Amino acid sequence: MRDLITESEIESSLIDQPGIIQKLVYFEETDSTNNEAKRQARNDDKHIPDGTLFITERQTGGRGRRGRNWDSPAGSGIWMSLLLRPAISPSSASMLTLIAAMAVTDVIDKVTGVTGCRIKWPNDIVLNKKKICGILTEMGAEADLIHYVVIGIGINVNTTEFDDDIRDKATSIYMETGKHVKRSEIVAAFSTAFLKYYEVFLKTQDLSGVMDSYNERLINAGREVRVISGDEEYTGVAEGISKTGELLVTKDDGSRVAICAGEVSVRGLYSYV
């Protein structure tokens, strides 16, 4: 199946689809949709509105968390960044990553008919214990004011092979289900699913309204994890998230800690999850 991401293809899939996406900015190729969104958001002349989606067929400099590259070839994935301008405290913005993770999980389950998609805290989406989607959230803010939040999402859709260094832990919708799913259909379903969770989030500006659903999808829940934070490293059992998105871990010595995302790495004891 030939599946092109074009502006008109996505526009038509969004028609009559109530959702978060209000405007589309499409590129055949760009360095990174997160970079593009941030560049345009900072350029006041462009008046980029809340709910703008930046999407491309190919990224030449796709970025992952912790300074990693994100391989983004043409034809195989969804490389997109949602720009929001929420009237919330900058300290709450990182929770939007978890909102996006829930939306993507719902969407992959819906379009594939599989109900096995899980979240590896805070924001990796895994299917059959392999990563199918990553999320990178960035923000422009000063003092108590958010100028923009950019939620960058990479979903491996029709990918058939990965580089050696990630082959054992990365996968795609096609590799796991044998189904070729139209990428524009996924984008449209994401628009609706994200809005549903976002509206719940905005009421309280925390995750209290969605944390039970998040915890149900959390692959780390009840499992032993290794937490690596700078020079510190320890093991414990992950319990679930708090209403502000920290991972609650009971350490081997019985004490309980709340871990913030950021530069912390949480892994299974013997594998990626």
Is 28 near ligand BTN (CB under 6 A)?
no
* Residues 112-141 interacting with ligand BTN (rule: CB under 6 A): 124, 134-136
Are 63 and 34 spatial neighbours (Cβ–Cβ below 8 Å)? yes
Is 79 near ligand BTN (CB under 6 A)?
yes
* Residue 123 CB, nearest approach to ligand BTN (Å): 7
- Of 34 and 184, the one with the shorter C-beta distance to ligand BTN is 34
* Residue 225 CB, nearest approach to ligand BTN (Å): 17
Are 134 and 122 spatial neighbours (Cβ–Cβ below 8 Å)? no
Torsion of CA 201, 206, 212, 216, to 10 degrees: 80
d(CA 39, CA 134): 21
* Count, residues near ligand BTN per rule CB under 6 A: 21
d(CA 172, CA 127): 8
* Residue 36 CB, nearest approach to ligand BTN (Å): 8
Q: What angle do CA 45, 51, 52 make, to 5 degrees?
A: 55
- Of 104 and 189, the one with the shorter C-beta distance to ligand BTN is 104
* Residues 47-66 interacting with ligand BTN (rule: CB under 6 A): 59, 62-65
Contacts of 74 (CB under 8 A, 6+ apart): 29, 57, 58
* Residues 220-249 interacting with ligand BTN (rule: CB under 6 A): none
- Taking phi over 0 as left and psi of -120 to 50 as alpha, with beta for the rest, 75 belongs to left
* Residue 16 CB, nearest approach to ligand BTN (Å): 26
Here's the x/- map for ligand BTN, 136-175, by CB under 6 A: it reads as x---------------xxx---------------------
d(CA 261, CA 121): 8
The binding site for ligand BTN (CB under 6 A) comprises: 32-34, 59, 62-65, 68, 70, 72, 79-81, 124, 134-136, 152-154
